[in-house]
Protein backbone atom coordinates (compact mmCIF):
# COMPACT_ATOMS: atom_id res chain seq x y z
CA UNK A 1 0.00 0.00 0.00
CA UNK A 2 1.37 3.39 -1.01
CA UNK A 3 0.87 5.97 1.74
CA UNK A 4 1.90 9.62 1.79
CA UNK A 5 1.61 12.39 4.34
CA UNK A 6 0.98 16.12 4.53
CA UNK A 7 1.87 18.17 7.59
CA UNK A 8 0.73 21.79 7.58
CA UNK A 9 -0.62 24.42 9.94
CA UNK A 10 -4.26 23.70 8.95
CA UNK A 11 -5.15 26.85 10.86
CA UNK A 12 -7.83 26.33 9.61
CA UNK A 13 -8.07 23.69 6.89
CA UNK A 14 -9.26 25.23 3.61
CA UNK A 15 -11.03 23.92 0.54
CA UNK A 16 -8.00 24.68 -1.64
CA UNK A 17 -5.82 22.56 0.67
CA UNK A 18 -8.18 19.60 0.37
CA UNK A 19 -8.15 19.96 -3.43
CA UNK A 20 -4.36 20.05 -3.48
CA UNK A 21 -4.11 16.96 -1.28
CA UNK A 22 -6.58 15.02 -3.41
CA UNK A 23 -4.57 16.00 -6.51
CA UNK A 24 -1.35 14.79 -4.85
CA UNK A 25 -3.03 11.52 -3.99
CA UNK A 26 -4.18 11.00 -7.58
CA UNK A 27 -1.01 12.11 -9.37
CA UNK A 28 1.22 9.94 -7.17
CA UNK A 29 -1.08 6.90 -7.22
CA UNK A 30 -1.34 6.89 -3.43
CA UNK A 31 -3.71 4.52 -1.73
CA UNK A 32 -3.95 6.83 1.24
CA UNK A 33 -2.63 10.17 2.40
CA UNK A 34 -2.44 11.10 6.07
CA UNK A 35 -3.00 14.69 7.21
CA UNK A 36 -1.52 16.06 10.40
CA UNK A 37 -1.62 19.56 11.87
CA UNK A 38 1.55 21.18 13.14
CA UNK A 39 1.72 21.36 16.92
CA UNK A 40 1.84 25.16 17.14
CA UNK A 41 -0.97 27.33 15.80
CA UNK A 42 -3.56 29.98 16.62
CA UNK A 43 -6.18 27.35 17.40
CA UNK A 44 -5.25 24.52 19.78
CA UNK A 45 -3.82 21.43 18.12
CA UNK A 46 -6.78 19.25 19.15
CA UNK A 47 -9.27 21.69 17.65
CA UNK A 48 -7.39 21.83 14.35
CA UNK A 49 -7.23 18.03 14.21
CA UNK A 50 -10.97 17.87 14.88
CA UNK A 51 -11.58 20.26 11.99
CA UNK A 52 -9.32 18.13 9.79
CA UNK A 53 -11.40 15.06 10.57
CA UNK A 54 -14.54 16.92 9.51
CA UNK A 55 -12.87 18.04 6.30
CA UNK A 56 -11.61 14.60 5.20
CA UNK A 57 -14.80 12.72 6.09
CA UNK A 58 -16.17 12.69 2.50
CA UNK A 59 -12.91 11.46 0.96
CA UNK A 60 -12.06 7.77 1.20
CA UNK A 61 -8.32 8.11 0.62
CA UNK A 62 -7.80 10.99 3.05
CA UNK A 63 -7.42 10.45 6.77
CA UNK A 64 -5.85 12.11 9.80
CA UNK A 65 -3.15 10.79 12.08
CA UNK A 66 -0.12 11.67 14.15
CA UNK A 67 2.29 8.83 13.34
CA UNK A 68 3.63 9.92 9.97
CA UNK A 69 7.40 9.51 10.45
CA UNK A 70 8.96 7.53 7.64
CA UNK A 71 6.23 8.38 5.17
CA UNK A 72 6.87 10.35 2.02
CA UNK A 73 5.83 13.92 2.80
CA UNK A 74 4.27 16.45 0.47
CA UNK A 75 3.89 20.22 0.77
CA UNK A 76 0.86 22.38 -0.03
CA UNK A 77 0.08 26.06 -0.47
CA UNK A 78 -1.53 27.33 2.75
CA UNK A 79 -2.04 30.99 1.84
CA UNK A 80 -5.84 30.73 1.92
CA UNK A 81 -5.63 30.12 5.67
CA UNK A 82 -4.69 33.76 6.22
CA UNK A 83 -7.64 34.87 4.08
CA UNK A 84 -9.97 32.80 6.27
CA UNK A 85 -8.51 34.42 9.37
CA UNK A 86 -9.35 37.79 7.80
CA UNK A 87 -13.00 36.74 7.52
CA UNK A 88 -13.37 34.91 4.21
CA UNK A 89 -15.03 31.82 5.68
CA UNK A 90 -16.23 30.78 2.22
CA UNK A 91 -12.70 29.45 1.71
CA UNK A 92 -13.01 27.00 4.62
CA UNK A 93 -13.04 23.29 3.86
CA UNK A 94 -16.51 21.88 3.43
CA UNK A 95 -18.02 20.80 6.74
CA UNK A 96 -15.92 23.13 8.90
CA UNK A 97 -17.51 26.59 8.55
CA UNK A 98 -20.43 25.82 10.83
CA UNK A 99 -18.08 24.73 13.62
CA UNK A 100 -16.07 27.95 13.28
CA UNK A 101 -19.24 30.04 13.49
CA UNK A 102 -20.78 28.14 16.39
CA UNK A 103 -17.62 28.58 18.47
CA UNK A 104 -16.67 32.08 17.28
CA UNK A 105 -13.26 30.88 16.13
CA UNK A 106 -10.90 33.45 14.58
CA UNK A 107 -13.35 36.26 15.36
CA UNK A 108 -10.73 38.24 17.27
CA UNK A 109 -8.22 37.67 14.46
CA UNK A 110 -10.79 38.93 11.97
CA UNK A 111 -11.45 42.23 13.74
CA UNK A 112 -7.72 42.72 14.34
CA UNK A 113 -7.13 42.29 10.60
CA UNK A 114 -10.06 44.47 9.47
CA UNK A 115 -10.11 47.27 12.05
CA UNK A 116 -7.71 49.85 13.36
CA UNK A 117 -6.16 48.94 16.71
CA UNK A 118 -8.35 51.32 18.73
CA UNK A 119 -11.51 50.13 16.98
CA UNK A 120 -10.57 46.48 17.51
CA UNK A 121 -9.99 47.15 21.22
CA UNK A 122 -13.36 48.87 21.41
CA UNK A 123 -15.04 45.85 19.79
CA UNK A 124 -13.44 43.46 22.26
CA UNK A 125 -14.63 45.56 25.20
CA UNK A 126 -18.13 45.74 23.72
CA UNK A 127 -18.17 41.95 23.42
CA UNK A 128 -17.16 41.56 27.07
CA UNK A 129 -19.88 43.91 28.28
CA UNK A 130 -22.42 42.23 26.00
CA UNK A 131 -21.65 38.92 27.69
CA UNK A 132 -22.14 40.45 31.16
CA UNK A 133 -25.48 41.94 30.20
CA UNK A 134 -26.56 38.74 28.49
CA UNK A 135 -25.80 36.74 31.63
CA UNK A 136 -27.90 39.14 33.68
CA UNK A 137 -30.89 38.85 31.36
CA UNK A 138 -30.85 35.23 30.25
CA UNK A 139 -29.68 35.93 26.70
CA UNK A 140 -27.43 33.54 24.75
CA UNK A 141 -23.90 34.64 25.68
CA UNK A 142 -22.41 33.17 22.49
CA UNK A 143 -24.66 35.36 20.37
CA UNK A 144 -23.95 38.35 22.57
CA UNK A 145 -20.19 37.85 22.24
CA UNK A 146 -20.33 37.45 18.47
CA UNK A 147 -22.61 40.45 17.95
CA UNK A 148 -20.43 42.60 20.20
CA UNK A 149 -17.21 41.58 18.53
CA UNK A 150 -18.48 41.95 14.96
CA UNK A 151 -20.74 45.00 15.15
CA UNK A 152 -18.15 47.38 13.65
CA UNK A 153 -16.57 44.94 11.21
CA UNK A 154 -17.04 47.27 8.22
CA UNK A 155 -16.31 50.49 10.11
CA UNK A 156 -12.90 50.89 8.48
CA UNK A 157 -13.94 49.69 5.04
CA UNK A 158 -13.66 52.29 2.30
CA UNK A 159 -16.35 54.88 1.73
CA UNK A 160 -16.70 53.61 -1.83
CA UNK A 161 -17.34 50.01 -0.70
CA UNK A 162 -19.86 51.07 1.94
CA UNK A 163 -21.64 53.34 -0.51
CA UNK A 164 -21.87 50.59 -3.13
CA UNK A 165 -23.35 48.14 -0.61
CA UNK A 166 -25.79 50.77 0.65
CA UNK A 167 -27.01 51.52 -2.88
CA UNK A 168 -27.39 47.82 -3.64
CA UNK A 169 -28.85 46.49 -0.39
CA UNK A 170 -30.16 49.43 1.67
CA UNK A 171 -31.03 52.33 -0.68
CA UNK A 172 -33.77 53.56 1.67
CA UNK A 173 -31.12 54.04 4.39
CA UNK A 174 -28.93 56.34 2.28
CA UNK A 175 -30.79 59.16 4.05
CA UNK A 176 -28.66 58.46 7.13
CA UNK A 177 -25.23 59.99 7.67
CA UNK A 178 -22.34 57.86 6.29
CA UNK A 179 -21.13 57.40 9.87
CA UNK A 180 -24.18 55.16 10.39
CA UNK A 181 -23.81 53.09 7.21
CA UNK A 182 -21.45 50.53 8.72
CA UNK A 183 -24.22 49.14 10.91
CA UNK A 184 -26.12 48.16 7.76
CA UNK A 185 -23.19 47.12 5.57
CA UNK A 186 -21.85 44.96 8.40
CA UNK A 187 -24.95 42.79 8.07
CA UNK A 188 -24.22 42.21 4.39
CA UNK A 189 -20.59 41.42 5.12
CA UNK A 190 -21.44 39.01 7.95
CA UNK A 191 -23.88 37.13 5.73
CA UNK A 192 -21.72 37.03 2.60
CA UNK A 193 -18.25 36.50 4.06
CA UNK A 194 -18.77 34.69 7.36
CA UNK A 195 -22.02 32.99 6.48
CA UNK A 196 -23.81 34.22 9.61
CA UNK A 197 -27.55 33.79 9.18
CA UNK A 198 -28.76 34.09 12.78
CA UNK A 199 -31.52 36.75 12.66
CA UNK A 200 -30.95 37.87 16.26
CA UNK A 201 -27.28 38.63 15.66
CA UNK A 202 -27.91 40.32 12.32
CA UNK A 203 -30.77 42.41 13.72
CA UNK A 204 -28.67 43.53 16.70
CA UNK A 205 -25.81 44.62 14.43
CA UNK A 206 -28.22 46.38 12.05
CA UNK A 207 -29.72 48.44 14.90
CA UNK A 208 -26.61 49.15 16.94
CA UNK A 209 -26.16 52.77 15.86
CA UNK A 210 -29.80 53.88 16.00
CA UNK A 211 -30.93 51.82 18.98
CA UNK A 212 -34.28 51.24 17.31
CA UNK A 213 -34.82 47.53 17.95
CA UNK A 214 -36.64 46.07 20.93
CA UNK A 215 -35.02 42.63 20.92
CA UNK A 216 -33.04 41.89 24.06
CA UNK A 217 -29.83 41.23 22.14
CA UNK A 218 -30.17 44.48 20.18
CA UNK A 219 -30.67 46.46 23.39
CA UNK A 220 -27.63 44.76 24.92
CA UNK A 221 -25.43 45.61 21.93
CA UNK A 222 -26.62 49.22 21.79
CA UNK A 223 -25.94 49.74 25.49
CA UNK A 224 -22.55 48.00 25.41
CA UNK A 225 -21.43 49.92 22.32
CA UNK A 226 -22.09 53.27 24.00
CA UNK A 227 -20.92 52.45 27.53
CA UNK A 228 -17.86 50.17 27.29
CA UNK A 229 -14.89 51.55 29.27
CA UNK A 230 -12.63 52.68 26.39
CA UNK A 231 -15.23 55.33 25.52
CA UNK A 232 -13.56 57.40 28.22
CA UNK A 233 -16.54 58.47 30.32
CA UNK A 234 -18.02 57.15 33.54
CA UNK A 235 -20.92 54.94 32.54
CA UNK A 236 -21.37 53.14 35.87
CA UNK A 237 -24.89 54.54 36.30
CA UNK A 238 -26.00 53.45 32.83
CA UNK A 239 -24.48 49.97 33.11
CA UNK A 240 -25.93 49.42 36.60
CA UNK A 241 -29.40 50.38 35.40
CA UNK A 242 -29.05 48.17 32.32
CA UNK A 243 -28.07 45.17 34.44
CA UNK A 244 -31.45 45.52 36.18
CA UNK A 245 -33.67 46.74 33.34
CA UNK A 246 -32.58 46.53 29.69
CA UNK A 247 -35.30 48.77 28.32
CA UNK A 248 -34.72 51.51 30.89
CA UNK A 249 -30.96 51.24 30.31
CA UNK A 250 -31.31 51.45 26.54
CA UNK A 251 -33.70 54.39 26.78
CA UNK A 252 -31.35 56.29 29.07
CA UNK A 253 -28.30 55.66 26.89
CA UNK A 254 -30.26 56.62 23.76
CA UNK A 255 -31.53 59.82 25.39
CA UNK A 256 -28.00 60.80 26.42
CA UNK A 257 -26.63 59.99 22.97
CA UNK A 258 -29.23 62.20 21.29
CA UNK A 259 -28.56 65.04 23.72
CA UNK A 260 -24.82 64.78 23.09
CA UNK A 261 -25.30 64.87 19.30
CA UNK A 262 -27.62 67.84 19.52
CA UNK A 263 -25.12 69.65 21.70
CA UNK A 264 -22.39 69.03 19.13
CA UNK A 265 -24.77 69.97 16.30
CA UNK A 266 -24.01 66.65 14.66
CA UNK A 267 -27.50 65.22 14.32
Each residue's pLDDT tens digit, 207-232: 999 999 999 999 999 999 999 998 88
Report residue 188's pLDDT band, with 50, 70 and 90 as the boundaries. very high
Task: Name the phi and psi angles at 38, rounded to 5.
Answer: -65, 155
Domains of the chain: 3-101 (3.40.50.620), 106-263 (1.10.3210.10)
Distance from C-alpha of 262 to C-alpha of 248, rounded to nearest angstrom: 21
Can you tell me the distance from the alpha carbon of 257 to that of 39, in angstroms, rounded to the nearest whole number?
Answer: 48
The string of pLDDT tens digits covering residues 192-212 is 999 999 999 999 999 999 999
What mean pLDDT is predicted for residues 69-81? Answer: 90
pLDDT-based confidence at 267, cuts 50/70/90?
very low
On the question of pLDDT at 244 being above 60, the answer is yes
Is residue 180's pLDDT more than 80? Answer: yes
For 74, other C-beta atoms within 10 Å of its C-beta total 18
The Cα 136–Cα 190 span in angstroms is: 27
* Nearest in space to 199 (alpha carbons), one of 180, 226, 218: 218
pLDDT per residue as tens digits for the range 34-60: 999 999 999 999 999 999 999 999 999
Q: Mean of the pLDDT values across residues 110-133?
A: 96
- In the predicted model, what is the mean pLDDT of the chain? 94
Q: What percent of the chain has pLDDT over 70?
A: 99
Q: What pLDDT is stored for residue 138 in this prediction?
A: 97
Amino acid sequence: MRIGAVTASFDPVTESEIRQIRKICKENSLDRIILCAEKEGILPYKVRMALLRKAVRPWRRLCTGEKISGLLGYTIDTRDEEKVREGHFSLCASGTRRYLLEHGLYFEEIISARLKTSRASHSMEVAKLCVRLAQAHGVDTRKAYQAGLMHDVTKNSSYEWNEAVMKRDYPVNLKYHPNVWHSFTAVTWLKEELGISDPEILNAVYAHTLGNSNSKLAKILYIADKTEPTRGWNSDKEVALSMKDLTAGRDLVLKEAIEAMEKEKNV
